[in-house]
Structure 1
Amino acid sequence: MSPKFAESAAAAVALVKDGDTVLIGGFGKAGQPVELIEALLERDVSGLTVVNNNAGNGDEGLAALIAAGKVAKMICSFPRQHDSHHFDAAYRAGKVELEVVPQGTLAERIRAGGAGIGGFFTPTAYGTPLAEGKETRVIDGRGYVLESPIVGDVALVKALRSDGLGNLVYRKTARNFGPIMCTAVEHAVVQVAEVVETGAIDPEVIITPGIFVDTVVEIPAPATPKED
């Protein structure tokens, strides 16, 4: 089944509703689906649980979503950086809940959600506060923590291009979380810089098969200014 091709970012995110768990791709500002997030900012939704590598940078993208009071909980690896002032303010005011997850564990929890795995044991965080309340086990003399999969309602992902079947290729850092996030949600929404004809992408370089993509919106990359 081919994905829906939305006419705008606003149309692409129209399905997001109050209380949804939204997985947002990118690695900090790199690869973040900024236009999709900006469109979500315009919607009257709140109480979102957001899964991302961090908790927003500066005043744009995810940071703006937090500043607008639309995020009730963050699940991330790096919540605090030198320019994460919007998250800092919301967290200190008790307006947003935080679940810190080590980066490798975060990726594996999302992958497990997409693969239908019920959980996995990892040595990461064993014996630390992050393991409190979780099942632990000693295997071959080494301590492990049982981690649960992460699944969501919607993923907002940025890719480089899509064909008519929703097959995706990525550019650099956008590939870090985008592919696994598409598999772990009910509805994957992807913004791409270019939509090409079906068959124009070499099957050997397709990273996310179109079967995992539900909505595609084409948002051309801004032109690079020419030097004088």
Structure 2
Amino acid sequence: MDKVVISAARAVADIGEGASLAVGGFGLSGVPNVLIEALHEAGPKGLSVVSNNCGVDGGGLGVLLEAGRIARVTGSYIGENKAFARKYLGGEVEVELTPQGTLAERLRAGGCGIPAFYTPAGVGTAVAEGGMPWRYSPDGSVAVTSPPKEVREFDGVEYVLERGITTDFALVRAARGDRFGNLCFARASRNFNPLAAMAGRITVAEVEELVDALDPEEIHLPGVFVQRVVELTPAQAAAKGIEKRTVRV
């Protein structure tokens, strides 16, 4: 039952070429940076990533993106990552954009064994009707577009069918965890982390504080969804970026 792995490198060693990953975090909050860096050093290519956004320039998933390791991204936000926008528009990476709430529910559904669900988000738009650019050609033309999705009416309201998401692996970060894989997330880091963890067939969690056993009332994600736990050093746990620093004069 002890799921603690001695190092981040050991925890991601079997993530191979072409693997699919669900990765927690939002902006710079709750991003599993230590696991991402270990994966960068391991060197697999052709990764398919499911995450709200693909990190920032030089940070988070942006490290893998800039190294050419990511082939496809399913997310809801390109954001301020210039490398992400450049690679997408230049045809170097395929991107499936989806509404943020829909992405969250697709991950949760996959983790719960639900293959698909209906939602009103996106009805009447390219999300449902298809034609969204997934991949561009180097000359700027659209090479691959999204297919149309099934739309069905319930009680006079139209809904679009969305597929649940499961991935080969998931990488998440938690404030506290125990040896059984139970996790507790702090404040804003409880964003996509629990959902990403649910979607992964093998989920790896880096934790800022490792305890023998969490109190049941503290648990945000039960250990049944987590297969490996990596304890961070104090320096790794304290290393948290600030996306936009503001000061009061």
TM-score by length of 1: 0.92
Q: Which residue in the other structure is 1:134 paired with?
A: 149
* Residue 205 (str. 1) matches residue 218 (str. 2): yes
Other structure's SS at 1:42 match: helix
In the alignment, the residues of structure 2 paired with residue 212 and residue 46 of structure 1 have an alpha-carbon distance, to the nearest angstrom, of 26
> Quick check: 1:2–1:210 contact (8 Å CA) kept in 2?
no
> 2:25 — aligned with what?
26
Report what 1:214 is aligned to.
227
User: Per-residue deviation at 1:92?
Assistant: 2.0
Change (3 A) 1:78 1:224: closer
Shift in Å, 1:122? 0.4
Q: Distance in 2 between matches of 1:14 and 1:185?
A: 16
Is residue 54–residue 73 contact of structure 2 (8 Å, CA) maintained in 1? yes
Alignment of 1:1-228 (within 5 A): 1-3=1-3, 5-79=4-78, 81=79, 83-131=80-128, 132=130, 133-198=148-213, 201-222=214-235
Q: Retained in 2: the 8 A contact 1:192–1:220?
A: no
Equivalents in 2 of 1:154, 1:19: separation in Å? 11
**% same residue:** 46
Q: Distance in 2 between matches of 1:72 and 1:56?
A: 15
Q: How many residues align?
A: 220
Q: Which runs of 5+ in 1 are unaligned?
A: none
- TM-score, normalised on structure 2? 0.84
**Would the aligned equivalents of 2:120 and 2:160 in 1 still touch at CA under 8 Å?**
yes
Separation (CA, whole Å) in 1 of partners of 2:238 and 2:174: 18
Give the ranges of 4+ consecutive aligned residues of structure 1 lying more than 4 Å apart after TM superposition: none
Change (3 A) 1:74 1:114: same
Partner SS state of residue 7, structure 1? coil
Instruction: Give 1:107 shift.
Output: 0.5
- Separation in 2 of the partners of 1:47 and 1:32? 21
| TM-aligned CA deviation for residue 7 of structure 1 | 1.6
CA RMSD in angstroms, aligned pairs only: 1.5
